Amino acid sequence: MITLTDATSYAVGLANPYPSAITVSGMSGTITDIKVIVNNLTHTFPDDLGLLLVGPTGAQIVLQSDVGGSTSVSNITYTLDNSATAGIPNSGPIASGSYKPTSVDKDNDLFPTPAPSPPYNQTAPGGSSTLNGVFSGTNPNGVWKLFAVDNFIGNSGAINGGWTLQITTNATAGTVQLSASSYTVGEGAGSIVIPVTRSGDTSTAATVDYATTDGTASHLSDYNTVSGTLSFAAGETSKTITVFITDDVFVEGNQTFSIAFSNPSGATLGSPSTATVTITDNDASTPTTNPIDAASFYVRQHYVDFFNREPDVSGLGFWTNEITGCGTDSACIELKRINVSAAFYLSIEFQQSGYLVYRTYGAAFGTTRVGGAVPLTLTEFLPDLQRVGNGVVVGASGWETQLEANKVAYLNNFVARSAFTTAYPSTMTNAAFVDALNANAGGALSASERNQLVTDLTSGAKNHAQTLRAIVENTNFTNSQFNKAFVLTQYFGYLRRNPYDSPDSNFDGYNFWLNKLNGFNGNFVNAEMVKAFINSTEYRSRFGP
């Protein structure tokens, strides 16, 4: 955050900090394009704001001066970019968007020490310099300084989100690729870990999307679908993707699925960007039993299906013992299998990952967005579950810190997605933004909670991601969706499909179980919901006869 102090009768107001600095390191090549983003500016008289950018070599330019008019602004974010179609309007108002750097009256530009002394490179209409013209061809590495001042008495403000520097150089982008074009894994191996490498220029962050696709192997019974985004930090050169393999007992021969990359950012796709994975069959005779009836297999499969991870040793032992402790008492075994299964949905780990994803889609787009019944599809759910739950093992050292970091990163990513920015454009007022989310959440907020979120968003105390999270984690909203998410999770976890996918064609089955669960006040044992899913032919056929 940069606080803008009002000018006095004897001096301009200096920002705090003055200057605000960004250190760039590890970039290759020289600058070909540069943009400066002003994040969440609030000011009662934008015309007073002056911005001077100084690069590591000492090159400098006035980005903004004596423009924007007298209309106050609140939490606007705008990009100063050579390629923008127009400059900042002289008489205002300024709105979120992109503008050419704009300086009107060079004689009024006062940037006290430690800023460099004038004269300054001025942008149009006060001068003819351009952002790229000043910095192109220079080394991007080093300390960049933004000097912000308030040039006139009576008004002040803040750049609540600070500033962002976007630099493009003439360095050749690095590549991201799989380590091989084919892999082989035994059916009984449990999983395959696929290495991903990054080569060439790795000086900046990069991302790439990945997804598996069925071949002769099916994601319903032979392996668990994975999809998501790999994120490389600057300098990071390797990642892995884990795909869980189902050790069914069917004699089916070797089977294949594929994995492919798409949508790279900060890198290009290297070769290979697709690969075929062969699962070698380990069954030779017609099965007579189903492995899902074995307690340890049953428990491990729940970790894989609901937590997207292998079980920790203590967890596997505890939940397995819950079932095996029944001995040969079939009634006890049946009840324990139901309770153990439900415990995965009720667990802190799933409630803070899978259920959080459900509520995020519900608050953002409505709880009946899909088919008038649910907020999201399995294809949307799985990659986000994997993102939020990545590296989290409840009870392990540091799990809460890891979960919090995952949540922050997930929600920041979510509000930057095109579906969200289309639904909530930058022109939407803060009050309208909060009200739209609250309406999607069924009016979960009290009047005071709603008003506080609007106030926090306006002051910069919260951004869009934090505001969305406040509604997602609202107790009223969480309680209202609990049973609905419980039923949907049965389809996603056990059957690995949407409620309307074959053999169903609509939400009749989902609605049946939701009505039954509600009718028993959420008692899943009396409603026989979990029992029905884990004993269903569809679920059991994933593993054996």
Q: How many CA atoms lie within 13 A of 319 on its CB side?
A: 24
Mark whether 104 and 188 lie in a shared domain: no
Give the phi and the psi of residue 145 in degrees, each rounded to 5. -125, 135
At 307 the pLDDT is: 96
453 exposed, middle or buried (CB, 10 Å; 0-12, 13-18, 19+)?
buried
Instruction: For residue 382, tell me if it sits in a domain.
Output: yes
Instruction: Mark whether 484 and 414 lie in a shared domain.
Output: yes
Residue 155 maps to which CATH number? Answer: 2.60.120
Q: What is the pLDDT of residues 461-483, one digit of tens each?
A: 999 999 999 999 999 999 999 99
What is the tens place of the pLDDT at every residue in 265-302?
989 999 999 999 999 999 999 889 999 999 999 999 99
Does the pLDDT of residue 10 top 90, yes or no?
A: no
Is the four-CA dihedral 502, 507, 508, 514 of positive or negative sign? positive
Place of tokens 């189903």: 290
Q: Where are the beta strands (DSSP E) in 66-129?
A: 73-81, 97-99, 102-103
The count of residues in the chain is 545
pLDDT at 161: 86
What pLDDT is attached to residue 106?
A: 59
Q: How far apart are the C-alpha atoms of 357 and 537, rounded to whole Å?
A: 28
Whether 163 and 183 map to the same domain: the answer is no
Kindly state whether residue 488 falls inside one of the protein's structural domains: yes
Confidence check: pLDDT of 1 > 80: no
Dist CA 117 CA 127 (whole Å): 17
Q: Tokens in use for 393?
A: 């093992």
Q: Which of 287, 307, 332 is the last residue of a domain?
A: 287
Q: Cis before residue 125, ω within 30 degrees of 0?
A: yes
128 and 28 belong to one structural domain: yes
Beta bridge partners of 167: 34
Measured between its terminal Cα atoms, the distance across the chain in Å is: 61
Q: Which amino acid is at 487?
A: V
**Do 436 and 424 contact (CB within 8 A), yes or no?**
yes
Nearest-angstrom CA–CA distance, 379 and 394: 25
CA angle 67, 70, 76 (to 5 degrees): 75
Percent of the chain with pLDDT over 90: 83
What are the start-end ranges of the E strands in 220-344? 227-232, 238-244, 255-265, 268-269, 274-280
- Kindly state whether residues 345 and 442 are assigned to the same domain: yes
Q: What does the alpha-carbon distance between residue 485 and residue 498 come to, in Å, rounded to a whole number?
A: 13
Q: Which of 239, 260, 287 delimits the end of a domain?
A: 287
| Confidence at residue 370, expressed as pLDDT on a 0 to 100 scale | 98
* pLDDT average, residue stretch 57-84: 92
Assess if residue 69 is contained within a domain: yes
Tokens 């969440």 found at: 40
- Looking at the structure, tell me whether residues 441 and 328 fall in a common domain: yes
Residue spans of alpha helices (H) in 57-206: 131-135
Q: Classify residue 522: in a domain, yes or no.
A: no
Q: Is the pLDDT of residue 460 over 60?
A: yes
Cα–Cα distance for residue pair 279/254, rounded to 1 Å? 6
Residues 345 and 452 in one domain: yes
Confidence band, pLDDT 50/70/90 cuts, at residue 157: confident
Q: How far apart are CA 397 and CA 400, in angstroms?
A: 8
Higher pLDDT, 160 or 237: 237
Looking at the DSSP bridge assignments, the partners of residue 212 are 259
Q: How far is CA 461 from CA 17, 77, 428, 452, 517, in A?
A: 18, 15, 18, 10, 40
C-alpha pair distances (Å), 442 with each of 359, 373, 538: 12, 14, 34
Task: Kindly indicate the confidence band of residue 29, based on its pLDDT and cuts at 50, 70 and 90.
Answer: confident
81 with 210, same domain: the answer is no
User: How much of the chain, in percent, has pLDDT values that exceed 70?
Assistant: 97
Query: What residues contact 149, with CB distance under 8 A and at least 6 apart?
Result: 4, 7, 12, 13, 14, 15, 18, 49, 50, 110, 111, 112
> Mean pLDDT over residues 531-544, rounded?
97
Q: Please state, in angstroms and rounded to a whole number, the distance separating the CA atoms of residues 152 and 156.
A: 9
Question: Residue 28's pLDDT is what?
Answer: 79
Taking CA atoms, 521 is separated from 166, 325, 337, 373, 375, in Å, by: 53, 29, 21, 19, 22
Amino acid 107: pLDDT: 56
Residue at 377 is within a domain: yes
- Token pair for residue 460? 């910069």
**How would residue 9 be classed by pLDDT, with cut points 50, 70 and 90?**
very low
Give the H/E segment covering residue 422.
Answer: helix 418-423
**The total number of structural domains that make up the chain:** 3
- Domain end marker among 287, 308, 330: 287
Q: Decide if pLDDT at 73 tops 60.
A: yes
How many other CB atoms are there within 10 angstroms of residue 420's CB atom? 17
pLDDT at residue 500 above 60?
yes
Between CA 9 and CA 285 the distance in angstroms is 93
- 164 and 207 in a single domain? The answer is no
CB atoms inside a 10 Å sphere around CB 342: 18
- d(CA 486, CA 500) in angstroms, rounded, equals 16
pLDDT given for residue 173 in this prediction: 77
Quote the domain boundaries for residue 62.
2-169
The string of pLDDT tens digits covering residues 177-210 is 999 999 999 999 999 999 999 998 888 899 999 9
Indicate the pLDDT class of residue 12, thresholds 50, 70 and 90: very low
Alpha helices in 347-442 (DSSP H): 348-351, 354-365, 378-389, 399-416, 418-423, 430-440
User: Per-residue confidence at 92, pLDDT binned at 50, 70, 90?
Assistant: confident
Residues 6+ apart with CB under 8 A from 294: none
Same structural domain, 149 and 215: no
Instruction: Calculate the average pLDDT of the chain.
Output: 93
Contact between 225 and 212 under an 8 Å Cβ cutoff? The reply is yes
Q: Is residue 504 part of a domain?
A: no
> Can you tell me the distance from the alpha carbon of 129 to that of 151, in angstroms, rounded to the nearest whole number?
22
Q: What is the CATH number of the domain that holds 185?
A: 2.60.40.2030
Residue 193 lies in a domain: yes
The answer to whether 171 and 139 have CB atoms below 8 angstroms apart is no
Residue 109 in this model has a pLDDT that exceeds 90: no
Residue for token digits 């009634």? 331
Mean local confidence (pLDDT), 339-364 = 98
CB atoms within 10 A of CB 211: 16
pLDDT for residue 8: 39
pLDDT tens digits, residue range 396-441? 999 999 999 999 999 999 999 999 999 999 899 999 999 999 999 9
Q: Is residue 158 included in any domain, yes or no?
A: yes
| Identity at 470, one-letter amino acid code | A
- pLDDT given for residue 108 in this prediction: 58
Residue 274 one-letter amino acid: T
For residue 52, the SS3 value is strand
Are both 306 and 397 inside the same structural domain? yes
Could you give the count of Cα atoms lying within 13 Å of 285 in the half-sphere of its Cβ? 2
Residues 270 and 321 in one domain: no
Tokens standing for residue 181 = 């074009």
